[in-house]
């Protein structure tokens, strides 16, 4: 048996402010740091030795993982992959979700957030929130940097990376610190969810999702913090 542990970063500053964040590199709130610490404590209680760690390029995921590793007292090297980044929200980036609901209507904002293949308008390349203008992403080939993404776009980059780098290692215990939509993409693949089901899947911040694997097949799955667990739809 092996384990795959998926952790959405702890609450970020823009989570708290209800802003569309996407690829903007914001840090954790104090509550987010506490969520990450509790995630580390819960993983430690499972007595699982993590063999490999992965994170997105983004600060909130990296710092969540740093706090988890401190709790585990395990400082193995972390593989950072931009493919695990959050979905790019295009021209919605930096805008307040509640204000956009008033402007566009709640149904339209829900479509932008949860639909499978709807992309928001692209973000202008001169906008300071565009990944081209954020130092974190200077290593990414220009042709790979998006102006906007749908969940489908996010799924394709995440799953291509999973096939290329993670799937062949699932006989090891792996922990991935990432984001709501990149983890939803992984869950769509792992749980074989259809395009409608994935719109209903909610990923809570800082709550480890423990997936048990037998010969690379899922045998069980649970959130470690049951008080903040969300419906996994299939388990």
Rounded CA-CA distance 35/29 in Å is 10
At 139, give phi and psi (nearest 5°): -80, -10
Closest to 35 (Cα-Cα) out of 211, 205, 222, 216 = 205
- What is the structure's pLDDT at 235? 66
Pairs from 180-185 (Cβ < 8 Å, separation ≥ 24): 180/8, 180/86, 181/86, 181/87, 181/151, 181/154, 182/56, 182/84, 182/85, 182/86, 182/87, 182/154, 182/158, 183/6, 183/8, 183/209, 184/151, 185/151, 185/154, 185/155, 185/158, 185/159
Integer angstrom CA distances of residue 235 from 26, 160, 179, 231: 33, 25, 21, 8
On whether the CB atoms of residues 223 and 204 are closer than 8 A, the answer is: yes
Helix 151-161 to helix 180-191 angle, to the nearest 10 degrees?
70
Domains in the chain: ranges and CATH: 2-228 (3.40.50.1240)
pTM over 0.85: yes
Rounded CA-CA distance 90/122 in Å is 5
189 assigned to active site: no
- What is the structure's pLDDT at 81? 98
- What is the structure's pLDDT at 234? 74
Q: Within the chain, which residues score under 50 in pLDDT?
A: none
On whether the CB atoms of residues 150 and 115 are closer than 8 A, the answer is: yes
- What is the structure's pLDDT at 205? 97
- What is the structure's pLDDT at 115? 87
- What is the structure's pLDDT at 93? 97
- What is the structure's pLDDT at 183? 97
9 assigned to active site: yes
Instruction: Catalytic residue, from 35, 83, 86, 149: name it.
Output: 86
Q: What is the pLDDT of residues 150-207, one digit of tens each?
A: 999 999 999 999 999 999 999 999 999 999 999 999 999 999 999 989 988 999 999 9
Rounded CA-CA distance 222/225 in Å is 9
Neighbours of 108 (CB within 10 A): 13
């Amino acid at each position: 048996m092996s384990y795959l542990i998926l952790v959405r970063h702890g609450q970020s500053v823009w989570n708290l402010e209800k802003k569309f964040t996407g690829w903007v590199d914001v840090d954790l709130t104090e509550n987010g740091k506490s969520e990450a610490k509790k995630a580390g404590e819960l993983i430690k209680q499972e007595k699982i030795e993590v063999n490999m760690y992965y994170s997105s390029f983004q600060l909130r995921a990296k710092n969540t993982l740093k706090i988890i590793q401190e709790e585990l007292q395990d400082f193995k090297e972390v593989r950072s992959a931009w493919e695990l980044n959050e979905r790019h929200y295009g021209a919605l980036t930096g805008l307040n979700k509640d204000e956009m609901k008033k402007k566009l209507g709640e149904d339209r904002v829900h479509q932008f957030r949860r639909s499978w293949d709807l992309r928001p308008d692209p973000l202008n390349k001169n906008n300071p929130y565009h990944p081209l203008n954020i130092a974190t992403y200077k290593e990414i080939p220009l042709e790979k940097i998006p102006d906007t993404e749908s969940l489908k776009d996010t799924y394709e980059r995440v799953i291509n990376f999973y096939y290329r780098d993670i799937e062949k290692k699932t006989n090891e215990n792996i922990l991935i610190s990432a984001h709501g939509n990149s983890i939803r993409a992984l869950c769509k693949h792992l749980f074989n969810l259809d395009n409608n089901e994935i719109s209903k899947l909610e990923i809570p911040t800082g709550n480890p999702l423990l997936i048990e694997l037998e010969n690379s097949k899922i045998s069980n799955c649970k959130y470690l913090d049951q008080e903040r667990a969300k419906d996994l739809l299939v388990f």
